[in-house]
Chain A
Amino acid sequence: MAGQNFSNASLPSIDDLQSWANDQELARSQLKAIFAALESEQEEPMNWATEALENMGPPPKKDIAWLGTVASSQAADAAYWAVTLLGRSDDPIDSVQDSIANAVLDSQSTPAIRRRAISALAKVRTRSKATESAIQSALKSDDSQLVGAAREILQSV
């Protein structure tokens, strides 16, 4: 689903993306533009968007709901980075836990997305039915790392 634009943000320049990759605060303020670049069909914007997301740190609180919608999208890289950023969040993510849980349960999700999603669910304080279901699904997985992450969630209670 390359080319999908989640935010209607215009494609930033490489210079801007490079600046954001080297400045966490700038990157946090340009999250939607970075995701627009991530879904670019051009290689360089996509690579620099990835670099900016790797270096960004926790996402802004105001973007958590939006990241929840991206987490349940079918665009694999966008979903991967959305659940990764939610897993870094310093703010509560309970409000978007069902979207994260769906990323674990969705058969179209890559193993990498599932692992990042289950890690993010470890931050949920009050689990929904979908989250419980996602944890149980992870425990039955063939992916030993996913199983380990799910066990850690249960042990942390």
Chain B
Amino acid sequence: MRNTASLPAIVAVVTSLAAYAGCEPENGLQSRIDSAGYNQPAINQSLPYPTGYNQPGQQPNYQPGYTSEYASGYTSGYAQQQVGASQRYGQPAFGQQAFGQQAPGQPQQYPQQTLGQQPFGQQYGPPALGQSIPPNGVASNPSAPQGRFTSSTQPSSQAPSQALSQAPSQLSVQPSVTNATNELMPQRRAETILVGSFNIQTFGQSKMGDQWVMGRLAEVIRMFDVVGIQEIRSTDQTILDVLMTYVNSSGGRYQYVMGPRLGRTVSKEQYAYIYDSNRISTGPNATYTLNDDIDALHREPLVGRFVVRSNLTNRPWTFSLVNLHTDPDVAVQEVTSMGGIMREIRNWEFASAQEDDCILLGDFNAAPPKMGALQTVGGVYPLISNQPTNVRETEIYDNILIEPNLTSEYTRRAGVLSLAKLFKLSMKDALKLSDHNPVWAEFSVEENGPQNYNPNPNQQSAARPGFSQR
């Protein structure tokens, strides 16, 4: 058993990276590779410690409204509680808003459109009001880049690897998604952002060499504006470049940022975020990996900062994603430890980037009833509470957690995308893709915050999040 009492102790150093080694950070940040092989943006060494936020080990001090909800509203029976935040999207009970289960009379904010019906009006810019985004990511676009690499994370000077040589120059995989997707999750639309989390079980050489698998994984990714990926297991660091050739095979502009290889055995994993660069940009100091001096977590989370690209608003939504894959043998301990860390991340993100929307996502290997600390300490609440997320449909492993008062951009639609139903597959064939189904949640493109977040100005600083011996 772990001694979790000391885990929320604070560390001063955040291990960071803007994009993986060999990749040019999109924001032009110069990175270096530290002794552990991690990229560290130079900017992180000079990030000022802001004043006015929580100190290590101190309880967060939020404004009264938040504290009230925090203390009395969600510590028990979270699925039955009403959210007290602004209700831009109707009034369903929080935690019960699986897609298709909206409360009667809830206003339909945006028109639903058929897959592929309304391609982008702008070839590389954000979509216009009322336009849907076709499943291949963009409309057919003769001037779209056709090369294998369209990502800014392309390692420009890197020689093609064995992995790249496996990628077909003319993809033979045909789109197989049918209109049945409407029943499983919303289509991407100009007014909303679909955030996903997908554990691609042991994503390595064998899947990379299977066109059927890669084609379907690409189709899944194209259903999201940004998706957090878990379980990339490959020493070949071009594996996501290969995946991008499939994802962008019809002219899309998906890009990725990937974290370092993590783990306690030779078999290591990486997190990544894949995002549609037509709709999402990476924020300043785009990603960082939490420092974990005491090895409290098997795979310390990767934080990514994102900004919506939209011409529908002059206040595009900004948000931070926290990508986590717990160790199944100690999942409850790790989830409990993450409660304090999530609070620190939220304080840090607000202090360093004025970011109030911190979304925790990933494979928790734990169902919501075991996420008590994430709620009571971390202040984030699971959006998936009653749908199994594994392909066998027996367990809730994967989730997306938000602080609902602050992340009022949430449209109250979240759910699980069944791979078997999406592609009309047997369970055996669906398991060739992954043992996890992706989970999703929908958000507005317009920023509502951060007016709700008001840390105590009398406190000295927010601490950089992480685990240390102190």
- Report which A residues bind B (CB closer than 8 A): 2, 14, 18, 21-22, 43-44, 46-51, 54-55, 76-77, 80-81, 84, 87-88, 110-112, 115-116, 119, 122, 143-145, 147-149, 151-152
Contacts and interface: CB of A to CB of B under 8 A. Distances in A.
Given A77-B267, A80-B264, A144-B469, A21 B201 contact: yes
Given A43-B204, A47-B202, A145-B295, A77 B265 contact: yes
Nearest to B234: A43
Given A21-B202, A144-B469, A152-B1, 18 more contacts: A43-B235, A44-B205, A47-B204, A47-B267, A50-B202, A50-B265, A50-B267, A77-B267, A84-B329, A87-B329, A112-B265, A112-B295, A122-B1, A143-B294, A144-B6, A145-B3, A148-B4, A149-B2
Interface string B190-225: 000000000001101110000000000000000000
B36 interface: no
For A76, A80, A143, A148, the residue with the greatest tally of chain B CB atoms inside 10 Å of its CB is: A148
Contacts of A143: 294
Contact of A145 (B204, B265, B294, B435): B294
Contacts of A47: 202, 204, 233, 267
Nearest to A2: B266
Contact of B205 (A21, A43, A54, A148): A43
> Majority SS of interface residues in chain A?
helix
Nearest to B391: A22
Contacts of B5: 148
B328 interface: yes
Interface in B325-361: 328-329
B265 A149 contact: no
A7 to B, nearest CB: 19
A44 to B, nearest CB: 5
B210 to A, nearest CB: 10
Contacts of B235: 43
A144 B206 contact: no
Contacts of B202: 18, 21, 47-48, 50-51
A151 B2 CA distance: 10
A114 to B, nearest CB: 11
What 7 A-B pairs have minimum CB-CB distances, sorted nearest first? A148-B3, A50-B267, A112-B264, A152-B1, A47-B233, A77-B265, A51-B202
A14 B209 CA distance: 12
A50 B266 CA distance: 9
A122 B2 CA distance: 12
Contact of B267 (A46, A144, A151): A46
B234 A147 contact: no
A116 B328 CA distance: 13
A21 B435 CA distance: 9
A46 to B, nearest CB: 6
Nearest to B265: A77
A14 B296 CA distance: 32
> Majority SS of interface residues in chain B?
loop
Given A14-B206, A47-B267, A50-B265, A149 B1 contact: yes
Contacts of B177: none
B217 to A, nearest CB: 15
A26 to B, nearest CB: 12
B431 interface: yes
A14 B294 CA distance: 35
Contacts of A81: 265
A144 B1 contact: no
11 contacts: A44-B205, A49-B267, A76-B266, A87-B329, A110-B264, A112-B264, A116-B329, A143-B294, A145-B3, A149-B1, A151-B3
A44 B1 contact: no
A122 B329 CA distance: 14
Contacts of A144: 3, 6, 294, 469
Nearest to B6: A144
B265 A111 contact: no
A117 B470 CA distance: 25
Interface in B441-462: none
B47 to A, nearest CB: 28
Contacts of A14: 206
Contacts of A111: 295
Contacts of A112: 264-265, 295
A47 B221 CA distance: 23
A116 B264 CA distance: 11
Contacts of B431: 18, 22
Contacts of A149: 1-3
For A43, A55, A116, A151, the residue with the greatest tally of chain B CB atoms inside 10 Å of its CB is: A43
A50 B202 CA distance: 9
Nearest to B469: A144
A84 B327 CA distance: 12
A49 B267 CA distance: 9
A41 to B, nearest CB: 10
